[in-house]
Structure 1
């Protein structure tokens, strides 16, 4: 099957726009999530006050972007008659979004629109990358695969750095390959800018260091006796390094010593090796140090079974093509898909080495590259197969679409069939895999539909429930709720609402206050993340 240039471009554009629409619609049903309020508020404060010292644990690029978008709402800001330090960042963020009369949904919607745009760009770039590797048909398929990744739709709808890093990582991997494959100064400069963007978003971009090293060695090997080519490579790399440094100095507001960047670097190393303060959770077990297999297992729960089969079929097709082609190492080194493969393997190795097992979102940069490789392999299988296999491949893509769309609009809580049902998935995964504080809008709707004035609430999140109109009696929560009982709450509400992460007793200082509820049948499960129990019917 051949696909024309116009058809390929149309398919990529449709997939990108569809992903953007789904992301935007899903975000409208998502209340403030745990970490995003920090980047948004830090950006707002920095842009309006010129003070950037409050949020120093993240690189600044997305803080700039989200802050610029959020200030268009002209929010009322916390007073500057006190010093807001790093330790005060949560207080500042909660005041800005929930305590000063600003509309949190509107403020976050403006910041989240940046993420929606990046989703559109990511899908388009994934399609373009696969097109460059294997033609327009592969490009169209890669765009479709990427647009149907639940974590792309989920994390594009929150104003944080996981989705932006996935885009920047893909661009950097491709740009580095280009700078090595055909070394020129301008390609080196583009690679330098792409790597700067990745490091400016999240320090997980450290995986680009071994990727770059392996690409340089692998790319130089066939040209090892070509002194002119090696000279061009050296110039390309030197220009890239210079652009990287200059761009970084600009990114960090003119600091030539990159003090804050070095702080971010060592903090990331310590965070990745030490994990979160609370134990990691997987398959009903907890661990203070995590598991090397956490991310491979989470992959099966956080991507559709259809996509997993497609990846397996595509990998089989690519390996068969290499074996049938004589197993040429030099041909493999020259293959245009080499950087995508390296990008997946190196980042996956970083994740498996990390003790930070708090959510599959940390591995998000591997997924678009995996979609690219899956598309390239699937197209090869398609072209070498009969109608039955082709029908199977098309059916798998349709099943992927059905699986992902069936969870709309709660993409953050997506789990595959292997989890045993989405309302039971908290038994195999927790934290940002399922429950990132995103369910307050669903709870607000539930309270209205049931006609109850209040609930007993244990909430895992950084948002302020009463800012969403929820009256409650407080139960143990990660952040202690502002009121023991809000002014409009009953003494003994009928319904008890517990976030999935709290239901498992995580992040509660070693306590497990809701163990008895795990044996009970919930009255409702809101957005697959908030468990509602009827105390009158218990």
Structure 2
């Protein structure tokens, strides 16, 4: 054990430093808008074996968070809303939100304890992701590259932002990443016993991905493309059938894991003809043939809530969601939304290392070119398919691409031999690249540290400072409800006791809990005078243009206080 610590002390230091940033920022950020719903729903899964709430997200990560909170024996509210949410053919998102707000703020529970310890499993998952990135990069490019990739992952501002939230994005990134790793080993291995182990492990982690978020379905085209590339490189078309059968087994194991997350439920969708209210697909022009197919094949659709969730996510992605980008608003999104989000919310050194990795690719690439495809294909497929979505809500939706990016660019560190640097004697052609690389590393670290603890609001220098963030992106890119603590502190510091607020991320009960006793802001502004606090997301998306003519300050990058006089 002592020998292990001696050999890996740098990695251990990075993990501890990252943990301190994650855990302390988890304490200093209030609950974001979906966390209460996820945690409350997870508790109902565990305590009631009932999956009626929050079906738009599979249950595993919610169950993981709820398993920790179960030790505190929280009180769960129940009323008529719970019964209403039991209608399978009804989207009960509003009932889930109200119940979760009651759970947090009106049921005798301690909201701060719930949110902090509910977040703890996600902090651990984020650290595991950094460790796994280290080992894969080390295997491909050496220990120096492994430490570099681990550093990039553990201090990536967007992982520090979403790695503390009761949400699905970082967990999905971890499980997709590990799934692709074992799928690559399965494709490369020629030993039968080892191949079976890789196949089973790939199936297990694929199942965990499927049980965490529905965009994990992008793994299927990723696997297919990797199979085709492997067949082309090996020049052996006969192995295609072998690997395709292996993929079927992987998906079968994955389904069993998903089924286990639903506690092996045999529940199937009820007959829609007998349902009291069928509003799930009303207004979406669902073809009669598809409705008939659902009715005829209901017996195979178990667990029922998993398939309901798939439908809800597909409906959301196709029908769109109110979004903001570069001064524009849209319900249908933009194909270039995610590239723009990457441009502004990724530390600039990443782009420099990416250019170096491509420019010197032949010199520093892995000996086996297929290893490079294992990193590049998931990025291309996941990002490419995400660009078709009309629900443009944040960079968090493409977080699974970044571990692959970090390993791919980690090889660039092998362009520099830091051991040869002796400042008084070394040649400039060695010293300058090494110093340049070191400056980029310090720049990257500075980006992480200076943003603490409000990592959700991270933007790089291309944005031109926090006065411009809200002009580029909002929602989970900037303000997602995490600023209630900071609003309260600002009001107390400036002795502001009257005014108006529009910060509805977690309802009026959350504002009351934080002792933010301002009046609700009317939509039309009639009769409003004095101080007005408002979220940047709602300012940009929900028709508060009448406010813009008044002077304002920024409480945080994503929250404004206007002086309506």
| Band of TM-score, shorter chain | 0.7 to 0.9
2:313 to 241, 253, 268: 268
Secondary structure of the corresponding residue to residue 358 of structure 1: coil
1:170 and 1:210 mapped to 2: Cα distance?
Answer: 15
Partner SS state of residue 500, structure 2: strand
Corresponding residue number in structure 2 for 1:496:
532
1:195 is aligned, of 182, 206, 209, to 206
Gap change, CA 1:274 and 1:390, over 3 Å in 2 = farther
The equivalent residue for 1:125 is: 132
Shift of 1:166: 1.1
Q: Do the aligned residues in 2 keep the contact of 1:19 with 1:119 (CA within 8 Å)?
A: no
SS at match of 2:532: strand
Q: Deviations over 1:335-381 (max 9, x none)?
A: 323211111111110122222211111111111211111112x1233
Which one of 385, 406, 412 corresponds to residue 350 of structure 1? 385
Counterpart of 2:561? 532
Q: Give matches, 1:69-468, under 5 Å.
A: 69-79=68-78, 83=83, 85=85, 86=92, 87-182=94-189, 184-225=195-236, 233=243, 236-237=246-247, 239-255=249-265, 257=300, 258=302, 259-276=304-321, 278=322, 280-318=323-361, 334-376=369-411, 378-382=412-416, 386-463=430-507, 464-468=510-514
1:490-525: per-residue Cα shift (whole Å, max 9, x none)? x98842111111221x1x3xxx22x243354423x2
* Higher mean C-alpha displacement, 243-252 vs 75-84: 75-84
Q: Is the 8 A contact 2:206 2:251 kept in 1?
A: no
Return the TM-score normalized by structure 2.
Answer: 0.83
Deviation at 1:230, TM superposition (A): 6.9
Deviation readout 1:83-102 (Å, 9 max, x if unpaired): 15124111110100112232
- 8 Å CA contact 2:344–2:460 kept in 1: the answer is yes
Partner Cα distance (1:222, 1:5) in 2? 38
1:474 paired residue among 514, 517, 520: 520
Q: Is the 8 A contact 2:175 2:209 kept in 1?
A: yes
User: Do 1:306 and 1:396's aligned partners in 2 also have CA atoms closer than 8 Å?
Assistant: yes
Structure 1 residue 466, shift from structure 2 partner: 0.8
Aligned partners of 1:346 and 1:119: how far apart in 2?
A: 23
Flag structure 2 segments of 5+ consecutive residues without an equivalent: 86-91, 267-299, 419-428
Contact 1:454–1:493 (Cα < 8 Å) also in 2: no
* Cα deviation, residue 26, structure 1: 1.1
Distance in 2 (CA, whole Å) between partners of 1:62 and 1:383 is: 42
Cα RMSD (Å) of the superposition? 2.7
Task: Check 1:189–1:92 CA distance in 2 against 1; reply closer, same or farther (3 A cut).
Answer: same
Structure 1, unpaired ranges of 5+ = 326-330, 478-483, 485-490
More displaced 10-residue stretch of structure 1: 395-404 or 44-53: 44-53
Matched with 2:288 is: none
* 2:20 is aligned with 1:21: yes
Of the structure 1 ranges 300-309 and 120-129, higher mean CA displacement relative to structure 2 is found in: 300-309
1:337 match: secondary structure: helix
The Cα offsets for residues 316-344 of structure 1, whole Å up to 9 and x where unpaired, read as 2225657xx9xxxxx76x43232111111
Contact 1:112 1:157 in 2 (8 A): yes
User: Normalised by the size of structure 1, how large is the TM-score?
Assistant: 0.87
User: Contact 1:314/1:381 (CA < 8 Å) preserved in 2?
Assistant: no
| Contact preservation (8 Å) 1:142, 1:371 | yes
Q: Is the 8 A contact 1:307 1:397 kept in 2?
A: no
The question of whether the paired residues in 2 share the 8 Å contact of 1:128 and 1:139 is answered with yes
